[in-house]
Structure 1
Amino acid sequence: MLEPWRTGKVIRIEDATDSTRRFWIEIPELASFDFKPGQFVTLDLPIHEKKNKRWRSYSIASAPDGTNIIELVIVLLEDGAGTNYLFKEVQVGTELTLRGPQGVFTLPEIIEKDLFLICTGTGIAPFRSMAHYIHQHKIPHQEIHIIFGCRKHGDCLYGPELKQLEKDMPGFYYHPVFSREDAVPEGAYTGYVHGVYEELLRIHKKPVHFFLCGWKNMIDEAKQRIIAMGYEKKDIHLELYG
């Protein structure tokens, strides 16, 4: 059943990187906005007469916490009508029409296999939600690996927070990968995400749930490589951006 459209109010905005912003949205008519980590909301933005050209969907970056506030992390697309509106017109206090939660890009009921959460850019959003949720609720799990690809150090969303989570949460590993940096700190990689999960699993191939989130070309390549490593299509879950 589809959730009704509701009014959300922007209560806080922060720049995350040069081209990425964090938006906190409160849904006043609900005491608690309940969702599963990995789900998304759809915004109906006043950018076109036709409904389907106004709708933009974004994964929820915060973990469910019993409140009516969610966080979205959004990258500005040069020619994107939706993101240009969000970056140029929306301020604290702006009301937005939204619907959700939606989507089935969610954790298994019981986490019996390792989780490899592979993403680029704002594709980190659903995985940040999942990681904090597992930690806060002490959900039994195997190893969890977030493999997060971006271009430069300054593009790395939630970096310090995920490094801290790695210290606080046994079995959780954070692997940032930079495609446009020559030197990286310990625990980080240069290049692309594919080399990292291949290396981790070459040493010790075991049962894995792969979750992929980001741009289509990254996801297409990851699917091919994961299947080439001997995994099956049913081991791969994906959420496509753009």
Structure 2
Amino acid sequence: MLEQWYNGTVTRIVDETYNTRRFWIQIPDMDLFDFKPGQFVTLDLPIHENKHKRWRSYSIASHPNGSNEIELVIVLLEGGAGTTYLFNEIKEGSSLLLRGPLGKFVLPEVLDKDLFLVCTGTGIAPFRSMAKYIHLHNIPHKNIYLIYGSRYIKDLLYPGEMGELQAAHPGFYYLPTLSREDSTDWTGRKGYVHTIYEEMLEGGNKPANFFLCGWKNMINEARQRILDLGYDRKDIHLELYD
């Protein structure tokens, strides 16, 4: 079955950091854009004659809220044709061709194990959707650990919002770590994401599901380290960003 494409209208654009933007897109042909937290949409951008070289996929950063509007958070990639077009050509009121929701990177039906949500960069998008959905719908769960790696303070996405969610939601832990920050303004964790989950799981494995989202190198390393801790491949779920 061929997926249907829809015309979306960009209703709002906000700079989240120096090189990332939040895009709100409304799909007028739908009363409700129904998706599961963790899914993505594919945009067809007018950047190439070959359709497969025009398609760019982005995780939905917003949670299902009963509307026909979604939010994407996108980083400007140096030399990237897709993001250069989105940043230079797309304004509020612009149209975008999209299809979705797509993907199976979604929460288990029953959250009866600890959740380790491990991400880098804009890989936080699907986990923001998941965490807010769980919170707003009071879904029973074990501990949820959002382990988020960036290079510098200026790279962090949604830090205030994630801190507020941690304060309001028992059992949700926001654990950002910075790999290159040397400012005294940062009093949080330093280093890479792997150290955090390895330290937490030291001394015996408890039942857990691992969701990994971000750059390929981080995911490949995390997958191997988690397997080395004694977990099974079925405990590990991936969403790879090229």
- Flag whether TM exceeds 0.5 (same fold): yes
- Which structure 2 segments of 5+ residues have no match? none
Partner of 2:201: 201
Q: Does 2:11 match 1:16?
A: no
**Quick one: structure 1 residues 166 and 57, their matched pair in 2 at CA, closer, same or farther if it must change by over 3 Å?**
same
- Which structure 1 segments of 5+ residues have no match? none
Partner of 1:170: 170
The Cα of 1:3 is off from its aligned counterpart by 3.5
The Cα of 1:184 is off from its aligned counterpart by 6.2
Structure 2 Cα separation of the partners of residues 147 and 72 of structure 1: 20
Q: Does 2:83 match 1:83?
A: yes
Structure 2 Cα separation of the partners of residues 225 and 22 of structure 1: 32
Deviation digits for residues 79-131 of structure 1, max 9, x if unmatched? 11000000000000000000000000000001110000000000000000000
Normalising by structure 2, report the TM-score. 0.97
Contact conserved, 2:118 with 2:193, CA < 8 A, in 1?
yes
Q: How does 1:38-117 map to 2 (within 5 A)?
A: 38-117=38-117
Structure 1 Cα separation of the partners of residues 218 and 2 of structure 2: 30
Other structure's SS at 1:52 match: helix
Partner of 1:153: 153
Deviation digits for residues 110-163 of structure 1, max 9, x if unmatched? 111000000000000000000000001110000000000001001100000000
Query: In angstroms, what is the RMSD of aligned CA positions?
Result: 1.1
The Cα of 1:202 is off from its aligned counterpart by 1.1
Partner of 2:130: 130
The Cα of 1:200 is off from its aligned counterpart by 1.2
Structure 1 Cα separation of the partners of residues 122 and 203 of structure 2: 29
Partner of 2:228: 228
The Cα of 1:169 is off from its aligned counterpart by 0.6
Structure 2 Cα separation of the partners of residues 111 and 213 of structure 1: 19
Other structure's SS at 2:201 match: helix
Structure 2 Cα separation of the partners of residues 114 and 162 of structure 1: 18
Structure 1 Cα separation of the partners of residues 100 and 226 of structure 2: 31
Identical residues among aligned pairs (%): 65
The Cα of 1:185 is off from its aligned counterpart by 4.5
Structure 1 Cα separation of the partners of residues 2 and 39 of structure 2: 13
Contact conserved, 1:9 with 1:96, CA < 8 A, in 2?
yes
Contact conserved, 1:3 with 1:101, CA < 8 A, in 2?
no
Contact conserved, 1:184 with 1:190, CA < 8 A, in 2?
no
Partner of 1:241: 241
Contact conserved, 2:205 with 2:230, CA < 8 A, in 1?
no
Amino acid at match of 1:116: F
